[in-house]
Amino acid sequence: MRLLAVALLAGFIVYSFIRVGTHAYKQMPGDWGVYYRAGDAMRQRLPIYTLEAGPLLTFKNAPVVALAAAPLSMLPRSVARMVSLLVDIVLLTGMMALALRLIDPGQRLVWLHMWIAMGALVFCYPYLFAQLYSGQTTVLFLASTVAGFYLAVHNRPRLAGLALSLGICLKLVPLCFIPYLLFVSRPARAITWTMLCTLALLLIPALWVGWEANALLLVEWPRHLRDTDLPEQVWRLQNQSVFSQLMRLLTDTSYEINFASLAVETVRKIWLTVSLLGAAVLYVFIYFTRHHAGALATHLALLLTYMTLFNPLAWRYNFLALAVPYAVVLAGLFRRPEDRMTLILLVGSCAFVTTPAHSQIYGARFIGASLLVAAVLSVHFYGNAKAQRSPQAI
């Protein structure tokens, strides 16, 4: 079994490098090209927030991300692309390893953990392939977020703050993890270090472009995000967020499934209200279950799912975050194979999450992620119920 696992992993990595390598010398119309061009522009002190490639393929991250991509842009395009793929694979491996340590702190069944991680990634295979071959920043901010969570709950507030701040600079959605720092050993230090590290990362580009130029970039960043916010991005089928589903149902779109004709701004307010209510429900659950067995893995899985669904632009790459909740469910099923309800929820989740594109008009990925939430909760409460009934608990 070990040899088979190693062979499968090696085959997948070799295949990925061959597939990416055969296209690395071509032009860069995708997301990875956006970061490469932004890094090159930052290295030459040129504007990074431009519309040269159109509003869809424009750089929308914090200036520090362009600065981080600058060294990569010094390499030939094909070499830089292969390096970024290697970084993705390493970070993905590290992210799953940290998540599995939270699921099973004993870390005794190392090879079993590998199979669980591989199984979880297979459930997310469309998004794994899309991520690796398009070069999005999804793995970067997911790995930073999971590392921040892991370090925070293991009483490493400084490193946790740095990791979370990296994730926030890559994508703003990891901000939903900040309230969780109130439940760790040293909440004040963790929150303070997150704020200080985020501020430092926003100011670091000033060492290269100058303080005044960096201040202008920080002002231009949110303005650029606003100006390149296209309605078509919101209700495209590939966007499977709560926001996109509300837009498809409550505004006039070309899909003819809307049962209302509300203004876009009205739907934004509805989405914001739903997001805040969802966060409130999630953190109330976290508060009352913080002392349960296996609570950390459950909380991480639910936070990652929330972060995915309530991101206004939940593209297929973002659903790679579901690999961690899938790992939680698979580990729970291995320990309790008689848990049929969780198995049914898992199968239903996979069926919806990997549904064909035409079914996504009804928010299929959203439904699948919701079933996955139910599966995580089933594992959590079933496990606690079994623990309470065991002889050791009496």
**Beta-carbon count within 10 A of 107 CB:** 11
CB-CB contact of 259 with 249 (8 Å): yes
Which pair of structure tokens corresponds to residue 124? 């997310």
90: in domain? no
369: in domain? yes
How confident is the model over 347-358, as pLDDT tens digits? 999 989 888 777
Q: What is the pLDDT of residue 107?
A: 58
87: in domain? no
86: in domain? no
66: in domain? no
Backbone angles phi, psi at 364, to 5 degrees: -60, -45
Distance between terminal CA atoms of the chain? 38
Q: How far is CA 370 from the centre of its chain?
A: 16
Q: Which of 119-123, 133-137, 210-214, 215-219 has the lowest mean pLDDT?
A: 133-137
Give residue for tokens 């424009």: 58
Helix (H) or strand (E) holding 112: helix 110-123
Q: Is the pLDDT of residue 248 over 60?
A: yes
CB-CB contact of 111 with 2 (8 Å): yes
Q: What is the pLDDT of residue 386?
A: 66
Number of domains composing the chain: 1
What are the Cα distances from residue 207, in Å, to 200, 213, 223, 272?
11, 10, 23, 36
| Sign for the pseudo-dihedral over CA of 181, 185, 186, 188 | positive
Q: Return the SS3 of 207.
A: helix
| Sign for the pseudo-dihedral over CA of 90, 369, 249, 238 | positive
How confident is the model over 154-163, as pLDDT tens digits? 999 999 999 9
Q: What is the pLDDT of residue 15?
A: 76
Which residues lie below 8 Å from residue 373, measured CB to CB, with a gap of 6+? Answer: 302, 305, 325
Which pair of structure tokens corresponds to residue 164? 């979370």
How confident is the model over 166-192, as pLDDT tens digits? 999 999 999 999 999 999 999 999 999
How confident is the model over 8-26, as pLDDT tens digits? 878 888 878 787 777 665 6
Which residue range forms the structural domain that includes residue 392? 230-394
Predicted TM-score (pTM) above 0.85:
yes
Distance between CA atoms of residues 324 and 305, nearest Å: 9
Q: What is the pLDDT of residue 392?
A: 44
